[in-house]
């Protein structure tokens, strides 16, 4: 992995560690197989007969939150070795996450600097860290609410999700992964 590809970990590592410890590793331990690094993300595949695949996850193909990915068993590389379209879709969400957390990391410095300049160091750290780490939640809520206000499906019709569908549609149609 190139040094440039490692740069996003400067601003994503705290949330990544939380997601790996509280989500990916426990889910993999209980219901998963094939824990792996996939293009800079920790990923696993659900076992075919696992509880999630028999219940709530059976209609899903993949999920990404930060640099953490989980997939249904049907998501495998294509015969020619190229990634499955769901992998392309989820990796696009990873890129969205990296840009969202960078924006939050930069914006978190505003209240941090103001509060610290006024001697409120504890408030500066708490406010800055909360703003930084809540970026993906803020982004999601904004996207889902906007879609809902437009009278559309909150998740599926959010701009965040629609842009990832556009990327995997283009990949499926052309075979080109230019995201």
H, E, C per residue of the chain:
CCHHHHCCHHHHHHHHHHHHHHHHHHHHHHHEEEEEEECCEEEEEECCCCHHHHCCCCCCCEEEECCEEEECCCCCCCCCCCCCHHHHHHHHHHHHHHHHHHHHHHHHHHHHHHHHHCCCHHHHHHHHHHHHHCHHHHHHHHHHHHHHHCCCCCCCCCHHHHHHHHHHHHHHHHCCCCC
User: Residue 47 pLDDT > 50, yes or no?
Assistant: yes
Look up residue 84 and give its two tokens: 């499955």
Q: Which of 33-42, 53-62, 128-137 has the least mean pLDDT? A: 128-137
The phi, psi pair for 6, rounded to 5°, reads -80, -20
CA distance 156 to 166: 12
**Which of the four pLDDT bands, split at 50, 70 and 90, describes residue 82?**
confident
Highest mean pLDDT: which of 22-26, 78-82, 156-160?
Answer: 22-26
| Sheet of strand 41-46: strand arrangement | 32-38, 41-46, 68-71, 62-65
pLDDT at residue 57, rounded to an integer: 93
pLDDT of residue 179: 47
Average pLDDT over residues 28-32: 97
Query: Which position has the token pair 């601003």?
Result: 11
Answer yes or no: is pLDDT of 45 > 60.
Answer: yes
How far apart are the C-alpha atoms of 26 and 123, rounded to whole Å? 33
């Amino acid at each position: 992995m190139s040094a440039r590809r490692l740069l996003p970990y400067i601003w994503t590592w705290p949330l990544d560690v939380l997601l790996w410890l509280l989500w990916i590793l426990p889910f993999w331990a209980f219901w998963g197989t094939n824990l792996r690094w996939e293009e800079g993300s920790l990923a696993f595949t659900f076992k075919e007969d696992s509880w999630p695949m028999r219940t709530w996850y059976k209609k899903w193909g993949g999920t990404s939150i930060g640099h953490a990915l989980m997939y249904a068993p049907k998501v495998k590389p294509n015969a020619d070795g190229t990634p499955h379209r769901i992998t392309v879709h989820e990796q696009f969400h990873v890129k969205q996450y990296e840009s969202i957390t960078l924006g939050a990391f930069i914006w978190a410095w505003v209240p941090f600097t103001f509060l610290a300049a006024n001697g409120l160091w504890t408030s500066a750290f708490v406010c800055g860290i909360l703003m930084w780490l809540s970026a993906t939640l803020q982004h999601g809520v904004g996207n889902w609410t906007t879609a809902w206000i437009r009278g559309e499906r909150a998740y599926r019709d959010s701009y965040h999700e629609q842009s990832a569908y556009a990327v995997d549609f283009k990949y499926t149609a052309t075979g080109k992964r230019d995201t």
